[in-house]
Amino acid sequence: MKEIVPPAPIVQNQFESVRELFSKHVMPTYGRFELALHHGAGSYVWDVSGRRYLDLGGGIAVCALGHANAEITEALISQSQRLVHVSNLYYHEPQGRLAQRLCHHIAPGKVFFCNSGAEANEGLYKTARKFGHDEGRFEIITAINSFHGRTLAGISATGQEKVKKGFEPMVQGFRHVPFNDLEAIRAAITPTTAAVLIEGIQGEGGITPASPEFLLGLRKLCDERRLLLFIDAVQCGHFRSGRFQSFQRILEGVPGGDTFLPDGISMAKSLGGGFPMGAFWLREPYQDLLGPGTHGTTYGGTPLGCAVALKILDVIERDKLADNVRNLGLWIHNELESIAARLPGVVKGIRGLGFMVGIELRERSECTGFQKSDKAPSLQVVNRLHEAGVLTIPSGNQIVRLLPALNLARAQAEEGVAAIEKTLRSFEA
């Protein structure tokens, strides 16, 4: 990995003026932290006052190669000097090559490019509808605690009431059942069911990997009942588990695991490394279900976006970042496990795989340190980690997520783990 030279910090406190711009002109859809970020380099970012933070959130699993990566910058510059955008009415090489590369990492099939995770999932819903249309089948079974995006169909698919509230009626045709529960899925199948959609590792729901038995059982069940099996890999994909797809990692060494394949996969987040990109892959024989005129998007798979995504794949392969995620991910996991063992009054457990790690905190009622504030434990820890110079992502009330860049260095992981231990310790009674 290259040495990253951080730019000189800007010593000037502009936080209040930035916040004022937001409070006047930006819709208040996010509960934002008291931080205004200014620039970054690798796994570090600096706020407007020049303070440095170790970014273990990676823009929520987006910044695959960290911030201001020189090779991404170079790909952006050289492609933008040739061709930024052409309509999907025309062919261009970068989109074809990127589709080929993604299929190479999964299995033969075809790819559709779009601009976000929610939009990638929309493609899967439409595929399910097209697939079941002539038989009157349209229902999609998804999991409780899932997250599939914020469009109207996305919140309908998502198995969390909080995203639906106030936006009813939902798009029809989604049913939610407990995750990792094959019998619940079997019981939810009706004559109108067309597909099952799950995350390989639930992200927003709190870092819960699918079990190998669930994945294998689901494949068999979907085959028996002629249902499409879709995986939302928006957060857990793109080598975050240590393999291109989390199901590849979860099923490693499991008998029958190497032949497992879903029928469709949605991707986004790390795919563009910060350049907004989404995609979905369909395998044979479903890859041509969406024929000419059935689906589209103006910006999907532009030459510029595809050049960036291709560069990210080149760097991941050249620098063996999947191995880094595996090895360093295991190290982080083990370190956090021993911290959890030392601080049982604050931490309940550690979850996840690779660079998708969840620190499960004790309930407020179980930990006096959390009772000094009425904020959720996850928010309290994330805020105190900001004071310690580390960015992490809350997931619900009890879980703090680490989703760092795939090229995180060992020294940075050590720095992060030390800050996390100190911060968690500060909540001990």
Tokens of 176: 């939610």
Please name which of 188, 181, 264 lies closest in space to residue 215, comparing C-alpha atoms: 181
Tell me the CA end-to-end span of the chain in Å, nearest whole number: 41
- Determine which residue in the list 47, 139, 199, 360 makes contact with ligand PLP, applying CB under 6 A: 199
Name the residue nearer to ligand PLP (CB basis): 47 or 199: 199
- Determine which residue in the list 102, 140, 234, 405 makes contact with ligand PLP, applying CB under 6 A: 234
DSSP letters spanning 199-210: ESEETTTT-EEP
Name the residue nearer to ligand PLP (CB basis): 46 or 230: 230
CA geometry: angle at 339 spanning 323 and 251, to 5°? Answer: 35
Q: Which phi and psi angles does 44 have, rounded to 5°? A: -115, 145
133: helix, strand or coil? helix
CA distance 291 to 135: 19
Residue type, 274: G
- Determine which residue in the list 122, 232, 335, 360 makes contact with ligand PLP, applying CB under 6 A: 232
Name the residue nearer to ligand PLP (CB basis): 116 or 423: 116
CA distance 134 to 338: 55
- Beta strands 44-47; 37-41: pairing state: antiparallel
Q: Which residue is nearest to ligand PLP (CB)?
A: 117
Residue list 238-297, contact with ligand PLP (CB under 6 A): 268-269
- Residue 5's contacts (CB-CB under 8 Å, 6 or more residues apart) are 41
Structural contact between residues 128 and 195, judged by C-beta atoms closer than 8 angstroms: yes
Name the residue nearer to ligand PLP (CB basis): 300 or 369: 300
Residue type, 386: H
Of the ranges 105-113, 230-238, 306-314, 398-406, which one interacts with ligand PLP (CB under 6 A)? Answer: 230-238
Name the residue nearer to ligand PLP (CB basis): 268 or 340: 268
Q: How far is the CB of 145 from ligand PLP (least distance, A)?
A: 11
Residue 235 interacting with ligand PLP (CB under 6 A): yes
Q: How far is the CB of 141 from ligand PLP (least distance, A)?
A: 16
- Contacts with ligand PLP by CB under 6 A: the residue count is 15
Name the residue nearer to ligand PLP (CB basis): 157 or 417: 157
Residue type, 36: A
Structural contact between residues 232 and 140, judged by C-beta atoms closer than 8 angstroms: no
- Determine which residue in the list 67, 137, 148, 219 makes contact with ligand PLP, applying CB under 6 A: 148
- What would the x/- binding string for ligand PLP be over residues 98 to 137, using CB under 6 A? ------------------xxx--x----------------
Q: How far is the CB of 4 from ligand PLP (least distance, A)?
A: 26
Name the residue nearer to ligand PLP (CB basis): 199 or 263: 199
Name the residue nearer to ligand PLP (CB basis): 98 or 234: 234
Structural contact between residues 72 and 273, judged by C-beta atoms closer than 8 angstroms: yes
- Determine which residue in the list 149, 262, 358, 394 makes contact with ligand PLP, applying CB under 6 A: 149
Residue 203 interacting with ligand PLP (CB under 6 A): yes
Tokens of 175: 């049913």
Residue 173 interacting with ligand PLP (CB under 6 A): no
Of the ranges 21-29, 45-53, 199-207, 377-385, which one interacts with ligand PLP (CB under 6 A)? Answer: 199-207
Residue carrying the six token digits 């059982």: 217
**Secondary structure tally for the chain: helices H, strands E:** 14, 17
102: helix, strand or coil? helix
Residues interacting with ligand PLP, by CB under 6 A? Answer: 116-118, 121, 147-149, 199, 203-204, 232, 234-235, 268-269
